[in-house]
Structure 1
Amino acid sequence: MLRHRPVRIFAIVTTTLLLLAAVLLWRNPYALITGDFTRQRLAAGLSKASMQLGDDRWVYAYNDDAPAGAPTVVMLHGFTGSKENWFPVARLLRGRFRVIVPDLPGWGESNRIDGADYGFLAQSARVARFLDAVSSKQEVVLLGHSMGGGIAALVAARHPERVARVGLIDAAGVRFRDNRFGIDVLAGKNPFAVHDEASLERYLDTVFFDDAAKPAIPWPADRIYIARRREDAAFEQRVLDRIGRGDERFAPGENAARIRQPALLLWCRQDAVIDASALALYAQRIPQARQVLLDGCGHMSILEKPDAVAQAVIELIERGRQR
């Protein structure tokens, strides 16, 4: 009988853990997805922290394992995105630079205030305060993807003392060549809206060109994700109304002419969201920028071609620095 006791204890512990997991998922189904985000963060070698700045609670991933005096690379995600989008690039940069990857206020794990402004201008002011708080002494390299690229352009232009170098990746904020996404936005639609399985598939097909890079969202995670996006639909529409159709939709491009810092402009040729013609429009305003046009990827270059993006960022940082 004694020989069976370890097996019995193991069965009891296993059953208890499964019941606890079931209760947790019943109370908070989204924990299934955040649990996978935690796995991704740990795999990228990142820790997590939070910070309160005024009314905004920022949640961010970071890694401080870098040589003394190394620049701080801050990465801003795009519309409907989150800090996790940048993890493959962050993994390739950590150890060489200090890396900080926040959820922008209103998105991800950072807080959202009812009625607050989450457009380009308001977010750029928030990001400037965040940079002061997390990297007041180190040189800051600010990277932004999509909506985050528009925000990064504004911060670099309006707060040059806070940003030493800037990288705009598939960035919003200029009047690029018409495509289906842009036409839908101007018509008042949200092309990124997700409310069922078909719209989730359409969303992924829009932002990714490389099928191999598309994230697998198996059942029941797909249902949980769809439910969260349904809850966020009104918020997404308000933000898109401001950054896609409002008076400030071209503010990033208009302010970009004030950017004097070393800069990177990186696009994917097959971007079906922010057409690659945007690269040339930004380049007219930032003539000192290095231009990189990747092939075989869509809007999510940071997930489809993380090695190429990381290499371009390294070259941006190392170019012209004293050794």
Structure 2
Amino acid sequence: MCKKLLQIAAGLGLCLYSVLMQAAEINFQNILQQERAWAGLQTKTVKAGDVEWIYSEGGNASKPTVLLIHGLSGTRDNWNRVARYLTPSYHVIIPDLPAHGETKTAAEFDLSIPNLAEKLRRFTDAAKFDPNLHIAGHSMGGAIAMLYSAQYPLEVKSLLLVDAAGVYKTANTAYLKDPQQLRQIVVEKSGDFDKLITIAMQSPPFIPQELKAAQEKLMVSQSKNTHKMVNALIEMSKLYTPESFGLLARTIDAPALIVWGKQDKVVNVEAAAELKGLLKNSEQPLILEGIGHMPILEAEQLVAYPYLNFLKKVK
């Protein structure tokens, strides 16, 4: 009898846990929706070739268009806090990159950086956005933004690079010296999300436990694709040397603003000066004291206000 009661209690416990997790996921999605609305964004969909893109859009479509690109294992929602300051004056577009967030792809989809840049161009065309874009990229999104700018120079009015990935001579972190180390920050089991936050942020914001669990579960479900993206970044480090990456960067004519967290543990801050030396038309890098690899989440105002000032100066 006691054994039976214990089995029933265990069953009820699992059922209750399942209900609580489902509620946390629903709450997590509701919070994201509220944050998008707070930032003046709406969720939209467009099909471009073999990709059905999910993206956020906000602001007046008659205003200059700003395209924001997230980083490895990120989503469009990484930019919400910055986008809030942009939507009153600009037309803001933030896609979930293929195999990230809600933009789904086939298992054999090519997740290389060059292909993502090309698919992003097809996305802007399919959605009929103004092709004269201000492009901003964070981390891996910065590498995509640079390649996009090099390939379509007449369609890029300006460039914002936030802790941008690349193949740098100043490789002072484990992740730059050996990109294979990126595999260690893939969220694929319980507890990995906390480890990632510790690496990515110097001063992480408070995240309620139930929301953290929902975010971790989402990232675990996408871990196979994240590993594919890590492989793509490793291949980029083989495809480009610091010299050939420098040649690519030197072809970019667009005015550029570089922002970096001084305590970045993923792409060290010395890379900001190196990148400025490569770009033809870059302002002095903005180095944020006490900030890690995620300024767009750690210190959104310190990114948004200088970016708005920069955009006003771009002709």
Range into which the TM-score falls when normalised by the shorter chain = 0.7 to 0.9
Instruction: Name the CA distance, whole Å, in 1 between partners of 2:309 and 2:245.
Output: 24
* Seq. identity, %: 27
Determine whether 1:239 maps to 2:229: yes
TM-score (norm 1): 0.83
Cα offset, 1:279, TM superposition: 0.9
Determine whether 1:210 maps to 2:203: yes
Q: Look up the SS of the partner of 1:312 in the other structure.
A: helix
Q: Look up the SS of the partner of 1:51 in the other structure.
A: strand
Select which of 50, 60, 69 maps to 1:65. 60
> What residue identity is the alignment partner of 1:192?
I
Select which of 202, 207, 222 maps to 2:212. 222
Q: Look up the SS of the partner of 1:313 in the other structure.
A: helix
Distance 1:311 1:267, change over 3 A: same
Stretches (4+) displaced over 4 A: 22-26, 249-254
1:37-116 residue pairs with structure 2 within 5 A?
37-65=32-60, 68=62, 70-116=63-109
Q: Look up the SS of the partner of 2:176 in the other structure.
A: helix
Match of 2:302 in 1: 308
Contact 1:266 1:294 in 2 (8 A): yes
Cα offset, 1:230, TM superposition: 2.6
Distance 1:225 1:63, change over 3 A: closer
Instruction: Name the CA distance, whole Å, in 2 between partners of 1:86 and 1:299.
Output: 14
Determine whether 1:130 maps to 2:123: yes
- Give the number of aligned pairs: 293
> Bigger shift: 287-296 or 175-184?
175-184
Per-residue CA shift, 1:231-288, capped at 9, x if unaligned?
Answer: 3222211211121344346676541111011111111111111111211221121042
Instruction: Name the CA distance, whole Å, in 2 between partners of 1:316 and 1:171.
Output: 18
Determine whether 1:274 maps to 2:264: no
Instruction: Name the CA distance, whole Å, in 1 between partners of 2:24 and 2:129.
Output: 38
> What residue identity is the alignment partner of 1:52?
K
Match of 2:148 in 1: 155
> What residue identity is the alignment partner of 2:40?
G
Distance 1:179 1:138, change over 3 A: closer
Cα offset, 1:120, TM superposition: 0.8
Distance 1:135 1:282, change over 3 A: farther
> What residue identity is the alignment partner of 1:216?
I
Select which of 146, 171, 177 maps to 2:171. 177
Instruction: Name the CA distance, whole Å, in 2 between partners of 1:65 and 1:137.
Output: 12
Distance 1:137 1:41, change over 3 A: closer
Match of 2:30 in 1: 35
Contact 2:21 2:214 in 1 (8 A): no
Per-residue CA shift, 1:81-134, capped at 9, x if unaligned?
Answer: 001010011001111111111111111011122111112100000111222334
Match of 1:299 in 2: 293
Contact 1:147 1:171 in 2 (8 A): yes
Distance 1:183 1:138, change over 3 A: closer
Instruction: Name the CA distance, whole Å, in 2 between partners of 1:32 and 1:265.
Output: 35
Contact 1:121 1:248 in 2 (8 A): no
Cα offset, 1:41, TM superposition: 0.6
Cα offset, 1:184, TM superposition: 5.8
